[in-house]
Structure formats: C-alpha cells, structure tokens
Amino acid sequence: MASTDKQKQSLYFPEEMLQEIMREANRLDRSLSWTMQQAWRLAREEVRKFPAMNPHRGRAEQPRPPPLDVRRADAPPRAPSAQVLEFLRGKFDRELAG
C-alpha cells in the first residue's frame, strides 16, 4: 500500500447533505473520508470549470504604496520614544559594561 500524507480538515455540510453522504458511505461500507475523497476525484474536473472569483479581474493594476517600515534614505534618524527608552532601561547594561 502506498504511503499517503494525511491531513485533518473540518468540513461543514448542511444536515440533509451530510445525512445523504453518510447513507452512501454506509451503503458502500466505507468511511466518510473515503466517500468524500472519491466524490472529489469524480467532481474535480467539473469544479475546475467554475468561473474564478477574482474581484480585481479587468481592473488596471493600482500602484501600491511602499510598506510603512521603509524610510527614505535622506530621512533623519528618529529618536526612540520615552516608552521604548523605559522598556530598554537596564536591559543591556551588562553587555555594555564589557
């Protein structure tokens, strides 16, 4: 038997659909997992025919602003805030003393 990677995933179905899947799994004397895997294998190509849900399709690409942590090279360095200085107080004294 070929080894397969298994991954646990929770799926939520309407009650009637779940009951129907359970009846078929019982009829086939198979687990719910096996039944759903076979259903996916059979339905995969049909699902791929569905149109993609891309809300940005057809729109021109909008330029994105740079990330907030990127500063211009000519920007002056900023002094740490009082809160940062308070947090750092005493943290690196041993390392600075040598």
Place of tokens 């759903």: 36
Q: Where are the domains of the chain?
A: 15-48
Looking at residues 2-10, what average pLDDT do you find? 78
Give the pLDDT confidence score for residue 60 in this predicted structure: 63
Q: What is the pLDDT of residue 45?
A: 93
Give me the percent of the chain exceeding a pLDDT of 90.
40
The reported pTM is 0.48
Residue 71 · residue 57 · CB < 8 Å: no
**Cβ–Cβ < 8 Å for 35, 25:** yes
Higher pLDDT, 2 or 36: 36
Q: How confident is the model at residue 70 (pLDDT cuts 50, 70, 90)?
A: low
Across 8-36, average pLDDT = 93
